[in-house]
Structure 1
Amino acid sequence: MRIILVTGPGGAGRTTVAAATALAEAGAGKRVALLSEDADASVEGAGLTVLRPDPAADFRREFLGFQARSAAALDLLGAAPFEDAELTELPGSRQFALLRAVRDAARGDHDVAVVDLPPTADALAVLALPEQLRRYVRRLLPPERQAARALRPMLAQLAGVPMPAQWLYETTGRWEAELAAVQAVVEAPGTGVRLVFEPGPAAVRAVRTARLGLALQGLALEAVVANRLLPAASEDPWLAGLTAEQHRHLAELRTATDVLYELPHLGREPRGAEDLALLAPVRPDAPPVPVPRWPVEDRRDEDGVLVWHIALPGAVKEELALVRRGDELLLTVGPFRRNIPLPGALRRCTVTGAGLVDGDLRVRFTPDPGLWPRSS
């Protein structure tokens, strides 16, 4: 299944572009789901299914389910249960509801799912959330601590209720499974991101920053969509001046991205499927961009090292830092940070240097003689 994630700065028209993309895919005969809280009702019934996340309902359902599963332990603690009518969603509920909706859309009977994401900064944070939370869960409640699980049923019988450790690990296991499912969808080869921008003074920098954030997460950038382009020819001097400035920024955008799609300004707010048909940003049959890979180059025979290539297009040396911590590489690039698990072979090595060459971060690892088998 193909997942198309659409984001961009607030007000750039990402919801409109997401709907136009979904309609174009449906017009090509695909079974399409459009996941959006704000999609216009006019697109419904136009050959696609509109899915609307409901953060409040999602929060109530998840909270009440957790409360029911933990009822025995909560009774032991003297906790008073909540009722559906008194629950209001907490901060962060919207992000989790969106992630679960993306997972459910990927499981549905569709060929393509188009997802209308929040503005760029929030979207990048949401896409990174599953991996981050899985790391925290494994660090705070590692599976190794469940070695004494055989004792818990016996202790539970003596106490008459499930022991806290039992329901805690059961809940943790469920969270881990859900997060893993969402992460698998986000990182799947068929998932790509489209950035929607209105050409302007800050557009190029914003595109480069967003592209770098996506690259750090290993996500594929399919295209940049330049939205609301003014007509190139106009007899009105005022409009001609605006057009010239916009097209100057558009030329800068072309140098900042590999794939750029240009959408016209309709002179009005898009209304209905007919207007959206004029704003389809890509060919429906365009293949997805491959997910970036970070290969490990074996240069032991030449230089005695292994080199890990991490693609970071647009990165600059002054904004880059990395630290080895255990079996992870803590990588900071501009405003973004990620704890990256090391490939198995590199865990038996020591970091001995790094360099950035044309957006390719090359981290050198020297094998630890005490951990590598001796060659005969």
Structure 2
Amino acid sequence: MRIILVTGLGGAGRTTVATATALAEARAGRRVLLVSEDAAPLPDHDGLRLLRPRPADDFRREFLTLQDRSSAALDLLGAAPFEDAELTELPGSRPFALLRALRDAAEDGHDLAVVDLPPLTEALALLALPEQLRRYLRRLLPAERQAARALRPMLAQLAGVPMPAQWLYETTARWEAELAAVQAVVEAPGTSVRLVLEPGPAAVRALRAARLGLALQRLPLDSVVANRLLPADSADPWLAGLTAEQHRHLAELRACAGAVDELPHLGRDPRGPEDLVLLAPARRPADLPDPVPAWSIEDRREEDGVLVWHIGLPEAVKQELSLVRRGDELLLTAGAFRRNVPLPAALRRCTVTGAALVDGDLRVRFTPDPGLWPRTP
């Protein structure tokens, strides 16, 4: 199954491009699911369906489930339980509703899912969230400690009070399973990102940030869409000046991204299916996305006595890079982005002895630790 995650700068037309992409593919005979909280009602088409995340419903369901599982501890504290009708959505619930919708989309049996994500900065944080939360859960509630939960019923009888650890571990296990399912969708070979930009002063900066943030998460960039292009043949001097400025920024986008899908400005909001057809990017989802910059290990033990881990980070700047080895992880900061990267098995038996950035290729040098490295007979 192919999954296209559509994001871009706020106001650049992400939802419109996502809807147009979904409709064009449905008309081409594919079974398509559009995941969007903001899309207008879709045109009637047998191969096209809309899944609309509902953060308020999702929040109430999760809150009431947690309240029910912890009822014994809440009763002990004398807490008054909440009812469904009095619960309102809290800030921060929307990303989790969207992640669950993404998981559901992958399980729905369609040929293609087009997911309308938030603006770029929020989208990059959202896509990193499953891995980050799973790491936090493993650190705060490691699996080996959960084995002690078998003793909880006996301890509760001896103490005469309910022990809350059982529901805590059960809830953690459920969250871990859900997050793992979402992370598997994000990291699947058929998942890619489509970036929608309106050519302007901020467009190239957004493209460079997207390339770096996506490379750190190892997500391929499906295509770059330049939206709302003004007509180039206007006789009006004011409009011609705007067009010239816009096309100057478009040239910068082409220089940075290579191929760019160009979509016209209709002079109005799209009014129906025929307008949406004009706004579908030319690059088809069936086309293979650009490859993710390679992360590979080069064995240079015979020449230099080291292993070199090559980490592809296009648009990275040396002054904005930071590396910290902590246990079996590498804490990697690149500009505004940070990721805790698990070390490959071979590198866990080494020490970090240097790093260099060469044309978007971060080269981290590891020297084998004689006390840990397997000895050759």
> By the TM > 0.5 criterion, same fold?
yes
1:163-218 Cα shifts (integer Å, max 9, x gaps) = 22211111111111111111111111111001100001221111101211111111
**In 2, distance between residues paired with 1:143 and 1:23?**
45
**In 1, distance between residues paired with 2:43 and 2:210?**
29
Cα gap change, 1:286/1:372 in structure 2, threshold over 3 Å: closer, same or farther? same
- Secondary structure at 2:362 match in 1: strand
Query: Is 227-236 or 125-134 further displaced after alignment?
Result: 227-236
Indicate the residue corresponding to 2:259 in structure 1. Answer: 259
1:129 matched to 2:129:
yes
Instruction: Point out where structure 2 has 5 or more consecutive residues left out of the alignment.
Output: none
| TM-score, length-scaled by structure 1 | 0.96
Indicate the residue corresponding to 1:38 in structure 2. Answer: 38
- Pairwise CA distance, 1:284: 4.6
**In 2, distance between residues paired with 1:226 and 1:133?**
34
CA contact (8 A) 1:189 1:291 kept: no
- Pairwise CA distance, 1:292: 4.5
Indicate the residue corresponding to 1:96 in structure 2. Answer: 96
Query: Is 280-289 or 175-184 further displaced after alignment?
Result: 280-289
Indicate the residue corresponding to 1:335 in structure 2. Answer: 336
Superposition pairs of residues 317-356 of structure 1, within 5 angstroms: 317-356=318-357
Q: CA RMSD in A?
A: 1.6
| TM-score, length-scaled by structure 2 | 0.96
- Pairwise CA distance, 1:42: 3.9
- Secondary structure at 1:110 match in 2: coil
Indicate the residue corresponding to 1:357 in structure 2. Answer: 358
Cα gap change, 1:57/1:283 in structure 2, threshold over 3 Å: closer, same or farther? same
Cα gap change, 1:343/1:258 in structure 2, threshold over 3 Å: closer, same or farther? farther
Cα gap change, 1:116/1:290 in structure 2, threshold over 3 Å: closer, same or farther? same
**In 2, distance between residues paired with 1:302 and 1:129?**
40
Indicate the residue corresponding to 2:375 in structure 1. Answer: 374
**In 2, distance between residues paired with 1:200 and 1:352?**
42
- Secondary structure at 1:41 match in 2: coil
CA contact (8 A) 2:4 2:285 kept: no
Indicate the residue corresponding to 1:79 in structure 2. Answer: 79
- Secondary structure at 1:61 match in 2: helix
CA contact (8 A) 2:215 2:292 kept: no
Indicate the residue corresponding to 1:184 in structure 2. Answer: 184
- Pairwise CA distance, 1:293: 4.1
Q: Which amino acid in structure 2 is aligned with residue 66 of structure 1?
A: L
Superposition pairs of residues 1-376 of structure 1, within 5 angstroms: 1-45=1-45, 47-158=47-158, 163-281=163-281, 282-376=283-377
**In 1, distance between residues paired with 2:156 and 2:29?**
56
- Pairwise CA distance, 1:357: 0.9
CA contact (8 A) 1:351 1:364 kept: yes
- Secondary structure at 1:38 match in 2: coil
**In 2, distance between residues paired with 1:293 and 1:159?**
56
1:87-113 Cα shifts (integer Å, max 9, x gaps) = 111111001000001101111121111
Q: Which amino acid in structure 2 is aligned with residue 336 of structure 1?
A: F
CA contact (8 A) 1:134 1:176 kept: yes
Q: Which amino acid in structure 1 is aligned with residue 329 of structure 2?
A: E
**In 1, distance between residues paired with 2:221 and 2:289?**
9
- Pairwise CA distance, 1:33: 0.4
- Secondary structure at 2:295 match in 1: coil
1:19-41 Cα shifts (integer Å, max 9, x gaps) = 01111111221110000111111
CA contact (8 A) 2:42 2:50 kept: no
Query: Is 53-62 or 334-343 further displaced after alignment?
Result: 334-343
Query: Is 159-168 or 274-283 further displaced after alignment?
Result: 159-168
Cα gap change, 1:268/1:69 in structure 2, threshold over 3 Å: closer, same or farther? same
Cα gap change, 1:42/1:165 in structure 2, threshold over 3 Å: closer, same or farther? closer
**In 1, distance between residues paired with 2:157 and 2:105?**
41
CA contact (8 A) 2:221 2:289 kept: no
**In 2, distance between residues paired with 1:44 and 1:351?**
58
- Pairwise CA distance, 1:259: 3.5
Q: Which amino acid in structure 2 is aligned with residue 52 of structure 1?
A: R
Q: Which amino acid in structure 1 is aligned with residue 63 of structure 2?
A: F
- Secondary structure at 1:43 match in 2: coil
Q: Which amino acid in structure 2 is aligned with residue 302 of structure 1?
A: E
CA contact (8 A) 2:43 2:272 kept: yes
- Pairwise CA distance, 1:162: 5.3
- Pairwise CA distance, 1:120: 0.6
CA contact (8 A) 2:8 2:119 kept: yes
1:40-62 Cα shifts (integer Å, max 9, x gaps) = 11435463101111100110011
**In 2, distance between residues paired with 1:226 and 1:74?**
54
